[in-house]
């Protein structure tokens, strides 16, 4: 299992970043820029540059995904401005928190940028969070990369970043426009496939390029697909199309509530490996706390050392520690 790589999601300003950025069991670190604005980008860059000997750092660029830019004060209902203008039939439910919360969208104003709801979701929402609208009438317009996202890109490339994730990739335009902004060939770009349109792109149009890989981004993909069981075919499709593909999110999540992983966690890892994935990534929820991430890395290393070995090796390694 030496061919199995692990990536984690961390901000360099996290107090436990240095510990895991230098961990030899980890092959890369993703910086999720969704909740990073303005001068906060500079703080993350400075913190990353202060750590020597760190694992390769990937900056996650947010493209066409719908994200909240500004919450508008209203005691009776939720109102906010989106990063991209939209058109959609209303009323319609909108999903929040990776599908765990919902609110009814009743109106779209200000040329598609302002969304008005009947009341609001159960949990408080914040600027930078994503939303999911699954209705077929949804149309997203405007440029793939907003001005504020382009400013982030310029900052990180000026600091030396050469590895990137692109979120919600759905067509070749997403990659070509990013290359135009970048202005130089990156060391690696990982395309996060997170929607039905993204899966259609992979199935019918995507071609493998040097230094460009796919990612089965299960966090939002599981929310975006029509039926839950379709996630299985989606993951198989991506692994088949790209031998270097990464799979991320919804991995080892039982550790969030229990330090001992559940049986299905190991079955999930084994199935992903068996269908072809050799790169896996832990999501934000596991990586926010040092204790959770430490447990997850230990569990993953136990799996990496044991699964697929012969019986003699398995006997030697029966005692797993986490």
Low-confidence ranges of the chain (pLDDT < 50): 310-322
Q: What is the DSSP letter of 235?
A: H
Q: What is the pLDDT of residue 1?
A: 54
Assess contact for 163 and 56: CB atoms under 8 A.
Answer: yes
Q: How far is CA 119 from CA 77, 78, 102, 138, in A?
A: 4, 6, 11, 21
- How do strand 246-248 and strand 86-87 relate by DSSP bridges? unpaired
- For residue 32, the cross-strand partners are 60
CA-based angle 303:248:267, to the nearest 5?
A: 35
Q: Render 27-55 in DSSP notation, one character per residue.
A: -EEEEE-TT--THHHHHHHHHHHT-TTPP
Q: What is the pLDDT of residue 209?
A: 86
Domain residue spans of the chain: 5-64+144-316, 68-140
Assess contact for 299 and 265: CB atoms under 8 A.
Answer: yes
d(CA 236, CA 259): 30
Q: How far is CA 56 from CA 9, 43, 165, 282, in A?
A: 12, 18, 13, 15
Q: What is the pLDDT of residue 120?
A: 86
Assess contact for 13 and 43: CB atoms under 8 A.
Answer: yes
End-to-end, the C-alpha distance of the chain in Å comes to: 19
d(CA 112, CA 132): 15
94-149, pLDDT tens digit by residue?
Answer: 999 888 999 999 999 999 999 999 988 888 899 889 999 999 999 999 999 999 99
Q: Using omega within 30 degrees of 0 as the cis cutoff, is the peptide bond preceding 91 cis?
A: yes
Which class in CATH covers the domain with range 5-64+144-316? alpha beta
């Amino acid at each position: 299992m030496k061919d199995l790589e692990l990536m984690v999601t961390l901000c360099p300003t996290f107090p436990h970043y240095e510990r895991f950025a230098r961990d030899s069991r980890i092959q890369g670190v993703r910086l999720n820029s969704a909740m990073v604005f303005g001068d906060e980008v500079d703080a993350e860059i400075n913190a990353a540059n202060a750590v020597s000997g760190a694992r390769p750092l990937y900056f996650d660029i947010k493209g066409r995904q719908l994200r909240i830019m500004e919450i508008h004060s209203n005691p009776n209902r939720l109102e906010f401005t989106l990063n991209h203008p939209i058109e959609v039939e209303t009323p319609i439910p909108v999903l929040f928190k990776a599908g765990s919360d919902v609110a009814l969208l009743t109106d779209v104003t200000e040329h598609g940028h302002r969304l008005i709801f009947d009341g609001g979701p159960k949990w408080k929402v914040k600027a930078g969070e994503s939303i999911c609208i699954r209705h077929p009438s949804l149309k997203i317009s405007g440029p793939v990369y907003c001005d504020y996202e382009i400013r982030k890109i310029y900052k990180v490339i000026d600091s030396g970043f050469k590895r990137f994730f692109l979120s919600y990739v759905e067509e070749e335009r997403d990659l070509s426009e990013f290359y135009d902004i970048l202005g130089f060939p990156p060391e690696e770009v990982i395309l996060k496939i997170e929607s039905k349109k993204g899966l259609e792109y992979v199935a019918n149009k995507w071609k493998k390029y040097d230094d460009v890989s796919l990612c089965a981004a299960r966090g939002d993909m599981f929310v975006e697909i029509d039926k839950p069981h379709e996630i299985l075919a989606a993951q198989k499709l991506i692994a088949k199309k790209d031998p270097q593909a990464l799979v991320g999110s919804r991995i080892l999540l039982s550790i969030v509530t229990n330090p001992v992983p559940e049986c299905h966690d190991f079955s999930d890892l084994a199935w992903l490996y068996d269908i072809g994935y050799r790169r896996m990534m832990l999501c934000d929820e596991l990586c926010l706390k040092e204790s959770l991430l430490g447990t997850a890395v230990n569990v993953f290393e136990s799996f990496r050392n044991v699964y697929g070995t012969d019986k003699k090796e398995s006997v030697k390694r029966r005692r797993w520690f986490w």
